[in-house]
Chain A
Amino acid sequence: SQTIHQWPATLVQPVGSPLSLECTVEGTSNPNLYWYRQAAGRGLQLLFYSVGIGQISSEVPQNLSASRPQDRQFILSSKKLLLSDSGFYLCVYRGTPYNEQFFGPGTRLTVL
């Protein structure tokens, strides 16, 4: 079965500092991977998705970037965090046969 890991679980960072969130997937190859952000009191917003190594699609213009250096690794980054980057970040793997999305445990980011 597939397993999704996210690191770190929680993070408190000052405004202007860099960010790197890591997501790794086990038990599958060439997965479609997604980064979502859930801001307080709001739904989930799709940030990036990747269908393979080096392939990144961005959904909304923002202060963040994503990279897919390995087949089962997906990284979310920022050079300078903003207060508005605070939220709950979820890495997601697209499953079969219903194309449902399996969520990682999430990273709770607080920017102060």
Chain B
Amino acid sequence: AQKITQTQPGMFVQEKEAVTLDCTYDTSDQSYGLFWYKQPSSGEMIFLIYQGSYDEQNATEGRYSLNFQKARKSANLVISASQLGDSAMYFCAMREGGGSNYKLTFGKGTLLTVNP
């Protein structure tokens, strides 16, 4: 079974509108973390936002917010006021374990296209 599921291979949004990218995860660990990364066409991976499993409040970083619903095991990324530069692949990832057992598993990604 997949540990990270991103059900939207591609998404389109109009400039200045908000968009939600879906991510569900599967783990039996009590302590874990969830990340979102952005990958532009240049290939670099850019860290966007992090949510710990024990964090009670949803993480926010500028125009990015993470809608964390622990019971549903979902960690959706919300981008407000989309910009043309937001067009990129977006990956959801989950951290499990610690020390030498630390693992980061990625979803297959969502390609976001922002239309002018």
Residues in A lying within 8 Å of B, measured CB to CB: 32, 34, 36, 42-46, 49, 51, 57, 88, 90, 94, 98-103, 105-106, 108
Contacts and interface: CB of A to CB of B under 8 A. Distances in A.
Contacts of A103: 37, 44-45
Contact of B95 (A36, A44, A99): A99
A46 B45 contact: no
A66 to B, nearest CB: 15
B4 to A, nearest CB: 8
Contact of B33 (A36, A42, A45, A98): A98
Interface of B: 4, 33, 35, 37, 43-45, 47, 50, 52, 91, 93, 95, 98-100, 102-109
A90 B45 contact: yes
A100 B50 contact: yes
Contact of B52 (A44, A46, A49, A98): A98
A99 B102 contact: yes
B91 A105 contact: no
Contact of B104 (A46, A57, A105): A46
A108 B108 contact: no
A72 to B, nearest CB: 18
23 contacts: A34-B104, A42-B108, A43-B91, A43-B106, A44-B91, A45-B106, A46-B103, A46-B104, A49-B102, A51-B99, A57-B100, A88-B43, A94-B102, A99-B33, A99-B95, A99-B98, A100-B35, A101-B35, A101-B47, A101-B93, A101-B104, A103-B44, A103-B45
Given A88-B43, A101-B104, A108-B43, 16 more contacts: A34-B104, A42-B108, A43-B108, A43-B109, A46-B103, A90-B45, A98-B52, A99-B33, A100-B50, A101-B35, A101-B93, A102-B47, A103-B37, A103-B44, A105-B44, A106-B44
